[in-house]
C-alpha cells in the first residue's frame, strides 16, 4: 500500500514538474517570479506534497531557487553562467560524438529526420517546437554514446539552455540554425571521430546566445 502511494505521488510530481516547466517555457512564469505552492496545487487539483516534490526536482536542475522565508522562484541565469554551461556542453557533446564514431553507431537517419522537422518548425516560426526538436537532435548524440553519467549531466545543462533561449526570445534565424546541423551529420556518416567532435563543438559555439556571428 505504501509503495502504491509513493508511486502515485511520484507520478503526480512528474505531472506538476511538466506543468511548471511548460509554464516557464511559454513565458507564463518569468525569471524572478515566485512560485506559490498552494496556487499551483489548486490549478493541478492536487495536494501540495507533489508540488513541493516537483519544485525540489526543478531546483536540482538549476531552474528554480529557494530563498529563506520567501519560497521558490524562477532562477535568472547570468550571461557568465550561460557561457560556462555552453563550454561544458560543448565538451560533453564533442566527447559523445567521438565515441559514437569510434563505435560506428549509425545515427544519421535519426538526425536527418530531426533536422527536417526542425526546418518545418522554423518556417512556421514556432520557437517552442523548434527548441524541442533541437533538444531531440542533440539528445540522440548523447544517448548513443552509451554513458548514463554523461546523459544525466547533459540533461541538466540542456534544460537550462532550452529555457533561457525560449524565455529570452533571442533573435536567431531558425532556418540557418537548423541547416547548421548538416555538417555534423556528414561527419557521422563518415564515422570521422575527429571531424565529428570538431563540427559538434563548432556548432554549439556558433549558435550560443552571445555569439553575434
Cell of 40: 499551483
Per the prediction, the chain carries an average pLDDT of: 86
67 near 121, Cβ under 8 Å? Answer: no
Answer whether residue 211 is part of any domain. Answer: no
CA distance 78 to 72: 18
Answer whether residue 158 is part of any domain. Answer: yes
Strands of the sheet containing 71-74, edge to edge, are 34-35, 71-74, 64-67
- Domain encompassing residue 115: 79-206
pLDDT tens by residue, 115-149: 999 999 999 988 888 988 998 999 999 999 999 99
Q: What is the CATH number of the domain that holds 163?
A: 1.20.120.530
CA distance 183 to 168: 27
In this prediction the pTM is 0.77
Boundary residue ending a domain (52, 74, 96): 74
pLDDT tens by residue, 51-103: 999 999 888 877 888 888 788 988 887 888 888 989 999 999 999 999 999 99
Amino acid at each position: 500500500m505504501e509503495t502504491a502511494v509513493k508511486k502515485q505521488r511520484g507520478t503526480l510530481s512528474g505531472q506538476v514538474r511538466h506543468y511548471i516547466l511548460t509554464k516557464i517555457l511559454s513565458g507564463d512564469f518569468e525569471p524572478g517570479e515566485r512560485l506559490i505552492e498552494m496556487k499551483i496545487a489548486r490549478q493541478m487539483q492536487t495536494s501540495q506534497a507533489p508540488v513541493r516534490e516537483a519544485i525540489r526536482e526543478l531546483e536540482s536542475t538549476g531552474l528554480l531557487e529557494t530563498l529563506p522565508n520567501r519560497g521558490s522562484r524562477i532562477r535568472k541565469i547570468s550571461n557568465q553562467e550561460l557561457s560556462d554551461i555552453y563550454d561544458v556542453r560543448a565538451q560533453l557533446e564533442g566527447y559523445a560524438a567521438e565515441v559514437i564514431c569510434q563505435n560506428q553507431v549509425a545515427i544519421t537517419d535519426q538526425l536527418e529526420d530531426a533536422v527536417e522537422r526542425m526546418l518545418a518548425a522554423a518556417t512556421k516560426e514556432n520557437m517552442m517546437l523548434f527548441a524541442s526538436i533541437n533538444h531531440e537532435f542533440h539528445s540522440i548524440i548523447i544517448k548513443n554514446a552509451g554513458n548514463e553519467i554523461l546523459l544525466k549531466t547533459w540533461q541538466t545543462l540542456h534544460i537550462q539552455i532550452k529555457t533561457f533561449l525560449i524565455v529570452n526570445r533571442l533573435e536567431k534565424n531558425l532556418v540557418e540554425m537548423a541547416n547548421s546541423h548538416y555538417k555534423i551529420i556528414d561527419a557521422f556518416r563518415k564515422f570521422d571521430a575527429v571531424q565529428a567532435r570538431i563540427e559538434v563543438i563548432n556548432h554549439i559555439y556558433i549558435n550560443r546566445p552571445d555569439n553575434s556571428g
